[in-house]
Structure 1
Amino acid sequence: MAEARLADVHAQARSRLTRAGIAGADLDARLLVEWVTGFDRLETFRNPDNPVANDVLARLDVVLTRRINGESVHRIIGKREFFGLEFSLSADTLEPRPDTEALVELALPFLHQRVAENGIADLIDLGTGTGAIAIALLEQVRNLRAVGVDKAPGALATARENARLNKVSSRFAALHSNWFAEVTGGFDMIISNPPYIRSKDIPALQPEVSVHDPILALDGGPDGLEPYRIIAAQADGHLHARGAVAVEIGFDQRADVEAIFAGTGFALKGLQKDIAGHERAMLFMKT
């Protein structure tokens, strides 16, 4: 590619992604061009004739190819916003997605109440990944402490770094554990966005997910419900009195997840829909 005007670079990137059939090609092209060139949207508007050097164009060619091959923009860039905060990504983590903000919204009133009653509250986030859920809650709730649990060491390293970047490290601890295996003590809330996709359904997902997301964070077993059975069976032994469990679910899993928790003595106390109107998060308490 020869040196080009910034405005033309944007147009060519949009055209290339559109021809490749990328949904949201306009936005993806803009984000990638801005990231590679360092020129934001305002600079492009003010100075469309800015020259883009050949080495920059070469780097852009590489990232556009990655996007066309199914890697998401945010995984290419290495970060994504969630609940107004920025989170770094790694190969061992999912991208925090807007649907999961429903889980944070559902948990917040309960945690605020616990802090108001007791002066402090303790949270454990099972399968913490980037740490997005726990860190978003820590940022919202003063005097909340959180433990992020994951069995992928790389995810824990990413979560620790995100806690540092978002200035909540003093209230966040990362624990290497397979679910509750290494967990001790009690908590006011157990929260989780567990793997909930049926094993057989994973190959049919978009390549952004099926190829580039970590399989451990996707596969919920043959029926997609195995993690809920684990959490429901062991939660009571790790909850303070009148504690709660909050989980994200697949769009069609409410009845099954409610039945699983009911089988271990938990009643549904809260339900939150995502931005698309799907039932996405559930809160349970012991009956």
Structure 2
Amino acid sequence: MTACEPGETVGAFLCQAGQMLRAAAIESPRLEARLLLGHAMGVTAETLLRDSRMVVPAEAVARFGAALKARLAHVPMAHILGRQGFWTLDLAVSPATLIPRPDSESLVEAALAAFPDAEAPLRVLDLGTGTGCLLLAVLSERPRAFGIGVDREPAAAALAAANAAANGLAGRSAFLAADWAGALAGTFDLVLSNPPYIESAAISGLMPEVARHEPGLALDGGPDGLDAYRLLAAALPALLAPGGVAVLELGQGQRAAVEGLARTAGLRPLSCRPDLGGVDRALSLAKKPVGGPASED
């Protein structure tokens, strides 16, 4: 995959790999080249940046070539590295789950703002847990909380459980493969969900890293992108404890439609936190008070 040979320097490998990644329309090609070569050599990208004259070991050349080939085919970087940072956590990822993204950290911010007492003994539910990123991030900030993560994909639930163990949170979490709320009884103080919300017809037009390599079940929100929100709106009134809050991730432009579904189901929109790009991303909901007004926005 690369013309560089064992015995050549880091700088030579990075120069060629950067050119190839740029030609493949990969953003930040030099940075990604460093990440790939660092992964192959077992060192940090910062180490490579400090010493471009370091010789690439022979045993790293094949690993680098395979990793570069995968990235040129638009396999997500996180899948190649096997890991992704989220909040303060280091999480394993796999093709069975969505890759955690910085935009989703707005849900963690919204959840913590809804329950500012760090010692609150919260009961937390994460529907469509994937890697477990949302649930584990909240548990890491609320040491007396306990959470359950549910995913329809058994491989995702298993990965989330492994991430909980790796981050020291296995004792305060449980994960199961089930049809979301269908297997649950009882109520929760906080319900989190990053549901599938892409319109079915739009999936093929997404960037190839997403369209080709992330699980369709976690992307496809039906013809209008709202199928999962309809299910959530119907389930949340029974899942939320008194004073409970649900925080849902939204796709761009979906706020009004999801708020409408929520109101119809007896839920009250509280706030909507934007992501770093200014997109309405984290919608917080509560149950309407019994006998209260139709809307208390």
Query: 1:170 aligns to what SS in structure 2?
Result: helix
Task: Report whether the alignment pairs 1:2 with 2:5.
Answer: yes
Contact 1:112 1:141 in 2 (8 A): no
How far did 1:41 drift? 3.8
| Aligned partners of 2:240 and 2:287 also within 8 Å | no
- Is there any run of 5+ residues in structure 2 with no aligned partner, and where? 289-297
- The answer as to whether partners of 2:35 and 2:45 remain within 8 angstroms in 1 is no
1:211-250 equivalence runs, <5 A: 211-250=212-251
**CA–CA separation in structure 2 for the residues paired with 1:283 and 1:101:** 14
Give the C-alpha shift of residue 48 in structure 1. 2.7
Q: For residues 31 and 49 of structure 2, what CA distance do their matches in structure 1 show?
A: 15
Deviations 1:107-159 (A, max 9, x none): 1122334x66xx41101000000000000000011211100000111001110
Using the TM superposition, give the Cα deviation of residue 46 of structure 1 relative to its aligned residue in structure 2, in angstroms. 4.4
The correspondence of residues 114-125 of structure 1 with structure 2, limited to 5 A, is 119-125=120-126
SS in 1 for 2:116: helix
Quick check: 2:128–2:194 contact (8 Å CA) kept in 1? yes
Q: Which amino acid aligns with 2:53?
A: D
Q: Which digits, 9 at most, give the CA deviation of each residue in 1:176-204, with x for residues without a partner?
A: 21121111111111110000000110011
Paired residue for 1:268?
Answer: 269
Give, in angstroms, the shift of residue 104 of structure 1.
Answer: 0.6
Query: 2-side partners of 1:255 and 1:50: how far apart?
Result: 55
1:60 Cα deviation from its structure 2 partner: 1.0
Cα contact 1:103–1:248 (8 A) shared by 2: yes
Structure 1 partner of 2:181: 180
Task: Say if 2:232 is the partner of 1:252.
Answer: no
Task: Report whether the alignment pairs 1:85 with 2:110.
Answer: no
SS in structure 2 at match of 1:269: strand
- Alignment correspondent of 1:54: 58
Alignment correspondent of 2:111: 107
4+ residue runs over 3 A deviation: none
Q: TM-score, normalised by structure 2?
A: 0.92
Match of 2:196 in 1: 195
Which AA in structure 1 matches 2:262?
Answer: F
Normalising by structure 1, report the TM-score. Answer: 0.95
**1:151 aligned residue:** 152
Q: How many residues align?
A: 284
Instruction: Judge conservation of contact 1:13–1:33 (CA < 8 Å) in 2.
Output: no
CA distance in 2, matches of 1:43, 1:80: 19
The 3-state SS of whatever aligns with 1:51 is: coil
Q: Which runs of 5+ in 1 are unaligned?
A: none
> In structure 2, what is the Cα distance between the partners aligned to 1:137 and 1:271?
18
Over 3 Å counting, the alpha-carbon distance change for 1:45 and 1:138 in structure 2 is: same
**TM superposition shift of 1:45:** 4.3
Q: Which residue of 2 aligns with 1:139?
A: 140
Q: Structure 2 CA distance, aligned partners of 1:46 and 1:106? A: 39
Q: Is the CA contact (8 Å cut-off) linking 1:138 and 1:144 kept in structure 2?
A: yes
